[in-house]
């Protein structure tokens, strides 16, 4: 299984102080040494983490392929065409959301999506659509002649978190929080069936299949059972864990300077 590591959260930490540190560029060598297969970044319209200069440097300097997530906004597509990453993943984007919620609605926004795909492919950029694991959407994605689909695992991850990790967060509606464990188990099973049937259908049509959103060290084993998925894009859980796995050496280094 290939791993794309989403490094946006490194830039989130930098933006909290509006200084230069930590610079996501420094992660490139670490990703390569650690066996990651791809660097994934999201150039959001509000530039809340990765900015244009980051994206440009990352695409120029990365020895791994870069997967640039972006909306279908035409100004953003202009930038992506100029930067020429290996792949562009079209995602839905709302300014008020904390992270990408739900897959791209390629039915309502078909014209915009087609225009973005055609412009990107004219620059020889592979295109992926970040979509819900819905059979109709997958069939329509295939008709759009994209190379990849990335199946949204957020719904699976939310149910998994409620069932096994005792986590409830602002993404969960009141109705979701009141579900019984039995109902949650059924819903988890349904979400996995949807991901598996979606991945199988996409692969049978010749699409390459990625998946991502909300995957972590606990829930990823369920997704690994789906053979048709060949790549996962994971950000939050890896960066969150790295804070703790790296904290000890960071403190020791400072302490050595102080002594």
User: In the complex with ligand PXP, which residue's Cβ is closer, 27 or 234?
Assistant: 234
Residue 233 backbone dihedrals phi, psi, to 5 degrees: -110, 120
Rounded-to-integer distance, Cα 193 and Cα 134, Å: 11
User: In the complex with ligand PXP, which residue's Cβ is closer, 6 or 191?
Assistant: 6
Residue 86 annotated to the active site: no
Residue 182 annotated to the active site: no
Rounded-to-integer distance, Cα 1 and Cα 95, Å: 32
Strands (DSSP E) contained in the chain are 2-6, 38-42, 66-70, 87-90, 126-131, 148-152, 208-212, 231-234
Site size for ligand PXP (CB under 6 A): 19
User: In the complex with ligand PXP, which residue's Cβ is closer, 4 or 188?
Assistant: 4
Is residue 141 within 8 Å of residue 106, measured between CB atoms?
yes
User: In the complex with ligand PXP, which residue's Cβ is closer, 198 or 212?
Assistant: 212
- Asked if 150 touches ligand PXP (CB under 6 A), the answer is yes
CB of 256 to ligand PXP, least distance (A): 33
In 109-179, where does DSSP find H-type helix?
A: 110-122, 135-143, 154-164, 174-177
Chain residues 107-146 in contact with ligand PXP, contact rule CB under 6 A? 130
Chain residues 39-78 in contact with ligand PXP, contact rule CB under 6 A? 42, 69
Residue 152 annotated to the active site: no
Q: Which of 49, 150, 213, 231 is catalytic?
A: 213
The rounded radius of gyration (Å) of the Cα atoms in the chain is 19
Q: Which residues contact ligand PXP by CB under 6 A?
A: 6, 8, 42, 69, 89, 91, 99-100, 130, 150, 212-215, 233-237
């Amino acid at each position: 299984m290939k791993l794309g590591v989403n490094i946006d959260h490194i830039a989130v930490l930098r933006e909290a102080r509006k200084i230069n540190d930590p610079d996501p560029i420094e992660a490139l060598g670490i990703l390569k040494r650690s066996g990651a297969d791809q660097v994934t970044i999201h150039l959001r319209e509000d530039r809340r983490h990765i900015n244009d200069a980051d994206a440009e440097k990352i695409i120029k300097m990365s020895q791994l392929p870069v997967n640039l997530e972006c909306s279908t906004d035409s100004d953003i597509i202009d930038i992506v065409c100029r930067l020429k990453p290996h792949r562009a993943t079209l995602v839905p984007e709302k300014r008020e959301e904390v992270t990408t919620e739900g897959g791209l609605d390629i039915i309502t926004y078909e014209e915009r999506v087609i225009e973005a795909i055609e412009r990107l492919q004219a620059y020889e950029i592979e295109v992926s659509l970040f979509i819900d694991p819905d059979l109709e959407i997958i069939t329509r994605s295939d008709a759009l002649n994209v190379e990849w689909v990335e199946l949204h695992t957020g719904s699976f991850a939310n149910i998994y978190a409620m069932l096994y990790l005792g986590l409830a967060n602002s993404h969960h509606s009141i109705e979701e929080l009141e579900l019984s464990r039995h109902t949650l188990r059924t819903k988890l099973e349904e979400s996995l069936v949807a991901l598996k049937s979606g991945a199988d259908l996409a692969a049978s049509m010749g699409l390459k299949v990625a998946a991502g959103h909300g995957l972590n060290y606990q829930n990823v084993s369920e997704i690994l059972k789906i053979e048709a998925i060949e790549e996962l894009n994971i950000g939050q859980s890896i960066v969150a864990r790295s804070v703790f796995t790296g904290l000890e050496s960071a403190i020791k280094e400072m302490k050595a300077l102080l002594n």
